[in-house]
Amino acid sequence: MTKRGFSIAVLLAILLLGVLAFFQPRQVTLAQGGTPTDDEVNRIARQLYCPVCENTPLDVCPTEACRQWRELIRQMLAEGKSEAEIKQYFVEYYGARVLSEPPRQGFNWIVYVLPPLMILAGVVLLFRTLRSWVKPAAVDEQEVEQLSADPLVRKLEEDLRRREK
Amino acid sequence: MTEHPASASRPGVPLWAQIMIWSGLLGLLIMIGIGLARAQQGTIQRGDRVPGNLTLSLYQGYEYNGQSQVRFDALRGKVVLVNFWASWCKPCEQEAAELQQAWESYQSSGQVVFLGVDYVDTEPEARIYLKKFNITFPNGPDLGTRLAQRFRIKGVPETYILDRNGVVQYVKVGPFQSAQEIQMIIDQILLRP
């Protein structure tokens, strides 16, 4: 395998691993009865954003409204609702904007597709640029020979050599 | 003069990549522009028509004529007061009793409908609030904040009063000070054909 082929293979392998890691389903852990702990509540709360504050995850939001929402999560966990069901309830009530990760549908796909595409384009550009720096452009030997045969060029080269002496 | 042979073979950015990059940047700028324009729009104004297909789901015990949801086009012919509130909203409490008092004065006439839209709230807390202020007019959650988005509300409390044709005639940002203030506005709208 050539050096270039090896670089492309490594690049593709990294990209493939990134894509697989990105789309891997999340592990869902359910409350097993009793009163759900703060950790269990916060594990879900940190995946949701306060619907009335600017960019504040629910687990660290200090407002009264957020406290109510965390209690609601606790109540739903105690009722045996799954993480997906709780998130679905929040989406239904407060809109998809409460999710820390927008659902993969419709216009939202831009968020998932555009950044990897731009990174890929950046990698390709960087690769091409670096290659042009490291490897000098090939010299057309036939053209060099033709130029050397030109009496004017030969005279010019002789003059230059004489000057250097 | 002879061109250096190296310049011909130097790789540049391909045309397709240039088109993609510039298209992407243009798309991004358009999206930012639309977002900024929306942000500066403010709430809907007097004279704006509220879409008839808007629907409000209602809490059990707070239905409209026994129905668990109400469509705005079903209310044409009546003056409609739409009040956005939330149980976590302290200024909303200032006007809660006034709204109920005003509602009681129109309830029997059948010409006016009050709708409470509970904005990003939890049902248990909303019920405690409604009970605390003895509110009886139809109330329900703003599911998916669809109504809030259509009215482009900036916060709670906010109240919109629509005439018989579903056209906004009055916008109140913040709490009403008295039931008389609400009644005065509704009476003026009721006088119009």
ipTM value of the model? Answer: 0.71
Minimum mean pLDDT among A29-33, A107-111, A118-122, B189-193: which range? Answer: A29-33
Alpha helix ranges (H) inside B64-174: 90-106, 123-132, 146-151
The CATH number given to A31-101 is 1.10.8.640
Q: Which CA distances in Å does B155 have to A52, A151, B44, B90, B152?
A: 9, 86, 13, 12, 9
Where residue A27 falls among pLDDT bands split at 50, 70, 90?
Answer: very low
pLDDT for A20 equals: 60
Which positions in chain A touch B20 (Cβ < 8 Å)?
A: 121
Mean pLDDT, range B150-173, rounded to an integer: 95
pLDDT for B57 equals: 96
Co-location of B96 and B168 in the same domain: yes
Count Cα neighbours of A59 within 13 Å in the Cβ-side half-sphere: 14
Minimum mean pLDDT among A127-136, B47-56, B136-145, B156-165: which range? Answer: A127-136
Burial class (CB in 10 A: 0-12, 13-18, 19+), B80: buried
Co-location of B91 and B113 in the same domain: yes
**Percent of chain A scoring above 90 in pLDDT:** 35
Q: What is the CA radius of gyration of chain B?
A: 25
Is B48 within a domain?
Answer: no
Co-location of B24 and B118 in the same domain: no
Amino acid in the structure at residue B77: G
CA distance B188 to chain A (A): 34
More confident site: B29 or B16: B29
Question: What is the distance between the alpha carbons of residues A145 and A131, in angstroms, rounded to a whole number?
Answer: 27
More confident site: B39 or A126: A126
What average pLDDT does the structure give for chain B? 91
Q: Is the pLDDT of residue A122 over 50?
A: yes
Per-residue pLDDT of A77-104, as tens digits, reads 999 999 999 999 999 999 888 999 888 8
> B170 and chain A: CB distance < 8 Å anywhere?
no
Co-location of B60 and B29 in the same domain: no
User: Nearest 5 degrees, angle CA B131-CA B136-CA B142?
Assistant: 85
Co-location of B74 and B32 in the same domain: no
Cis peptide leading into residue B157 (ω within 30°): yes
Q: Is the pLDDT of residue A153 over 90?
A: no
pLDDT for A30 equals: 45
Q: Is the pLDDT of residue A32 over 90?
A: no
A and B: number of Cβ contacts within 8 A: 62
> B145 and chain A: CB distance < 8 Å anywhere?
yes
Total domains present in chain B: 2
Token code pair at residue A15: 């990209």
Q: What is the CA radius of gyration of chain A?
A: 31
A65–B5 CB contact, under 8 Å? no
Mean pLDDT, range B32-44, rounded to an integer: 85
Q: Is the pLDDT of residue B158 over 80?
A: yes
Q: Which CA distances in Å does B175 have to A47, A51, B11, B108, B156?
A: 34, 21, 66, 25, 9
Is B2 within a domain?
Answer: no
Co-location of B29 and B85 in the same domain: no
Can you point out the beta strands (E) in chain B? 55-57, 69-71, 79-85, 112-118, 139-141, 158-162, 168-173
Burial class (CB in 10 A: 0-12, 13-18, 19+), A140: middle
Mean pLDDT, range B134-158, rounded to an integer: 94
User: Nearest 5 degrees, angle CA A38-CA A98-CA A116?
Assistant: 110
More confident site: A43 or A146: A43
pLDDT for A74 equals: 95
Question: Is the separation of the CB atoms in B57 and B143 below 8 Å?
Answer: yes
Q: Is the pLDDT of residue A25 over 50?
A: no
Q: Is the pLDDT of residue B128 over 80?
A: yes
> B39 and chain A: CB distance < 8 Å anywhere?
no
Give chain B's length: 193
Where residue B7 falls among pLDDT bands split at 50, 70, 90?
Answer: very low
Question: What is the distance between the alpha carbons of residues B4 and A109, in angstroms, rounded to a whole number?
Answer: 46
Q: Is the pLDDT of residue B9 over 80?
A: no
A52–B120 CB contact, under 8 Å? yes
Is B50 within a domain?
Answer: no
Question: What is the distance between the alpha carbons of residues B178 and B102, in angstroms, rounded to a whole number?
Answer: 9
Q: Is the pLDDT of residue A29 over 70?
A: no
pLDDT for A41 equals: 95
Q: Is the pLDDT of residue B99 over 50?
A: yes
Question: Is the separation of the CB atoms in A44 and A87 below 8 Å?
Answer: yes
Residues of the domain holding B92? 55-191
Co-location of B78 and B32 in the same domain: no
Give chain A's length: 165
> B143 and chain A: CB distance < 8 Å anywhere?
yes
